[in-house]
Amino acid sequence: MGISWFYVVAILLFITNAATLCRGGITSSYVRKVESSEDMPLDSDVFRVPHGYNAPQQVHLTQGDHVGKGVIVSWVTMDEPGSNKVLYWEANSKIKQIAKGTVSTYRYHTYNSGYIHHCTIQNLKYNTKYYYMVGTGHSRRTFWFVTPPPVGPDASYTFGLIGDLGQTYDSNMTLTHYEMNPNQGQTVLFVGDLSYADKYPNHDNNRWDTWGRFVERSNAYQPWIWTAGNHDVDFAPEIGEPEPFKPYTKRYPVPYQASGSTSPLWYSIKRASAYIIVLSTYSATSKYTPQYRWLEAELKKVNRKETPWLIVLMHCPWYNSYGYHYMEGETMRVIYEPWFVKYKVDMVFAGHVHAYERSKRISNIDYKIVSGECTPANNQSAPVYITVGDGGNIEGLTTKMTEPQPKYSAYRESSFGHAILEIKNRTHAYYSWHRNQDGFSAKADSFLFFNRYWHPVDESY
């Protein structure tokens, strides 16, 4: 009797272990109610035009140099060019300074843009709160921002992560939850697909304006670091618009020249203890192309003694176990993945898939067609791949998953939400993902990152 029970238990243990070995990580049991995601109507309060003649609107910030001492202030005036100057001053200081910017317009099909202003403020002090004012007369508007700490290995810093935001009721919930998060980031890493204006007839660029007004409540106070997505291409030769990324690049400048890039679609910045490389999935990536040559040189420049955290942003994920956009990133992955492993990238953030997923540390660099080794393998020099294309845009939620969950996938869930990356020091960073749930934000996934250069220990233990 005792022996037969022993066999039963042994067989059960074998079955359980076998199931564990064959399965991937966690597929969340939480499935949000799938409803159509509608854009908020044009007369929504979140799109309200500020009062006053020619009042600056769509005020937004991004980093303005390579090291975080510069800020690009952008805004749009609708009635006339107006002033292209920014008045700025340190909190508690009466000394006001002026920076002069540029103004331009563009035409897209039958749409004529407002007057788009960009002004780069250079040589700010680190770790300092600044107020700034744009506009003139009764239409002046004042905002503030805080500069990051000096670039250095132990500078702690918190980033928000938002992707594929759009301008639906769900988008508004995601942004609100980000703003209400007690650990809200000091800067947003935005992984592409901003306005989804291209979902409208002739890519109605008025929806670029509404998006700018929608995110102003965050983006006028903290920089958002931009990555280009497929909905930002706006390539429409059939309506006379053959210039890719026209509205995106006119509206959202980035400091690409500071990192030796020849295109605003790929560039890098240092911020606190992080070195952030932004790539373009929708530009040429193959060997000898400008992006390839830039990235090859760029990775050699990263000094982990100065910036321990090496982060890559791109729009289309390389590792994605959903049924939508499956393997779309393959052509890019096969070329660049060996570099990511060689240079020990800590984490790669992407969007595109309208859901959430976090991978284990894996690589597929052994696959050479003839080798037959086509399964991603555990690799402690490889990044963790995270998809946060879950901002909540007009295309709705991605729910279809490939089954069973691949072994490399640590956690996946079909929900909208945002993430927070809290860099504590040179060795540790705490990451959390927060789903939108029933009007409040709930932490659903978290991960304690160990730095790949300073503390390359397997975090899963």
Q: Is 325 a catalytic residue?
A: yes
| Contact present, 88 and 132 (Cβ < 8 Å) | yes
392 near Fe ion (CB under 5 A): no
Closest distance between Fe ion and the C-beta of residue 325, in Å? 7
Binding mask 102-121 for Fe ion (x = CB under 5 A): --------------------
| Contact present, 84 and 102 (Cβ < 8 Å) | yes
Closest distance between Fe ion and the C-beta of residue 231, in Å? 6
Distance between CA atoms of 120 and 194, rounded to whole angstroms? 22
Tokens representing 448 are 């304690």
Q: Which residues, numbered 341-360, are part of the site for Fe ion (CB under 5 A)?
A: 352
Closest distance between Fe ion and the C-beta of residue 294, in Å? 23
Give the Cβ contact number of residue 242 at 10 Å. 10
Tokens representing 328 are 């779309």
Choice between 259 and 281, CB closer to Fe ion:
281
Closest distance between Fe ion and the C-beta of residue 193, in Å? 4
* Surface-to-core class of residue 150, CB atoms within 10 Å of its CB (0-12 exposed, 13-18 middle, 19+ buried): middle
Q: Which residues, numbered 317-346, are part of the site for Fe ion (CB under 5 A)?
A: none
Candidates 132, 131, 125, 153; CA nearest to 69 is 125
Choice between 144 and 235, CB closer to Fe ion:
235
Tokens representing 155 are 């500078």
Choice between 230 and 409, CB closer to Fe ion:
230
229 near Fe ion (CB under 5 A): yes
Residue nearest to Fe ion (CB): 352
Catalytic, out of 117, 177, 315, 325: 325
Choice between 118 and 352, CB closer to Fe ion:
352
Q: Which of 74, 172, 218, 230 binds Fe ion (CB under 5 A)?
A: 230
The DSSP symbol for 77 reads E
193 near Fe ion (CB under 5 A): yes
- Angle at which helix 290-301 crosses helix 330-342, to 10 degrees, equals 20
The beta-strand segments (E) located in 165-244 are: 187-190, 224-225
Distance between CA atoms of 295 and 288, rounded to whole angstroms? 11
Choice between 353 and 444, CB closer to Fe ion:
353
* The amino acid at 280: S
Closest distance between Fe ion and the C-beta of residue 368, in Å? 30
Give catalytic residue positions. 325
Q: Which residues bind Fe ion (CB under 5 A)?
A: 193, 229-230, 352
